[in-house]
Amino acid sequence: MGRLGSRIPSSGLTWEQVKQKLETETDYKIKPYDDDLDGVLNWKALRFPGVRQSVLAEFTDPKILIATSSMLDVYNSADKVEYAAGNISANSKELTIVGGTSTEAGNSWIYWNLPIQATKRVYIVCNLQSVDCKNVCVDMCDADGSSLSNPPDYIFVLIDPSESLYRLKLKKNVGGAETALYVYPDTENEISYGNWNKLEFYWSTELLNNRYIHVWLDNSWVAGYRENSVLTSIYSIRLRVYDNSTTSKQSGKFKGCIVIIYE
């Protein structure tokens, strides 16, 4: 055949010409996304911006709640709970949430109630920042997300730049009581005021009613937790800011591509 890349003797075509010919065939184009050519896309072959492919591969029938980098789309698609009117705002690039007021501590958040309640898996990707607030949180709730707690019970990841070391925490709030499940020692000072961090949060059921949770920070796995007493299903997703100041308004922000996938 001669050196690598020369013509294929039986056809007189170069490999590039063979590929060009194949690419004119519909089946060739669709096969990487539909192995059995049954007209149903293979979700495991699809790629979404910032989505961890190993997590997507665990889904059997994934449904996209939202996948956008427009914070106006995020703002308009979600329901809102504001501690004070005007606490939540957005432009095309950033979603800003003020927690309380200049004289009162408080929480404000946006939320989505999922179309189904008997969820098996939920996966969230977002970029978040504490401008000056105590906590920026991503919550997974077992009931309507319009009230803060008890109900719903919820698991959540928060960033807290005010801490000296443990600036990322995985917690649960059950019956109104918070319990830390995992705390991440931020020895590299990755989480700080004004710094953007990419957060991935994944919850899944297993056999024998076990649940497990994984958290990634800036593309690195930082937390895993497994037990059968954590929430048995997820019904609502929230992006929340807690402001603990009684002397100034404190805020957090979200930007970049926000993806929420469930089944």
Q: What tens digit of pLDDT does each residue of 130-189 get?
A: 999 999 999 999 999 999 999 999 999 999 999 999 999 999 999 999 999 999 999 989
- What are the tokens at 123? 């996966």
pLDDT at residue 28, as a whole number: 47
Q: Burial level of 213, CB count in 10 A (0-12/13-18/19+)? A: buried
Instruction: Specify whether the CB–CB gap between 104 and 246 falls below 8 A.
Output: yes
pLDDT at residue 7, as a whole number: 41
Architecture of domain 52-262: Sandwich (2.60)
pLDDT at residue 3, as a whole number: 40
Segment 5-23 mean pLDDT: 53
- What are the tokens at 41? 């896309």
| Residue 44 clears pLDDT 90, i.e. is over it | no
- What are the tokens at 67? 């996948």
pLDDT at residue 60, as a whole number: 87
Enumerate the β-bridge partners of residue 40.
none
Integer Cα distance of 80 and 25 in angstroms: 48
| Residue 47 clears pLDDT 70, i.e. is over it | no
Task: State the span(s) of the chain assigned CATH 2.60.120.200.
Answer: 52-262
Higher pLDDT, 56 or 238: 238
Distances (CA, A) of 151 to 53, 118, 141, 143, 166: 33, 17, 9, 7, 28
Instruction: Specify whether the CB–CB gap between 122 and 113 falls below 8 A.
Output: no
pLDDT at residue 4, as a whole number: 41
Question: For 225-261, how does the pLDDT look when each residue is reduced to its tens digit (9 = 90+)?
Answer: 887 767 889 999 999 999 999 999 999 999 999 999 9
pLDDT at residue 230, as a whole number: 74
pLDDT band at residue 117 under the 50/70/90 scheme:
confident
pLDDT at residue 118, as a whole number: 84
Half-sphere CA count of 107, side-chain side, radius 13 A? 17
| Residue 5 clears pLDDT 90, i.e. is over it | no
pLDDT at residue 238, as a whole number: 98
Average pLDDT value over all residues in the chain: 86
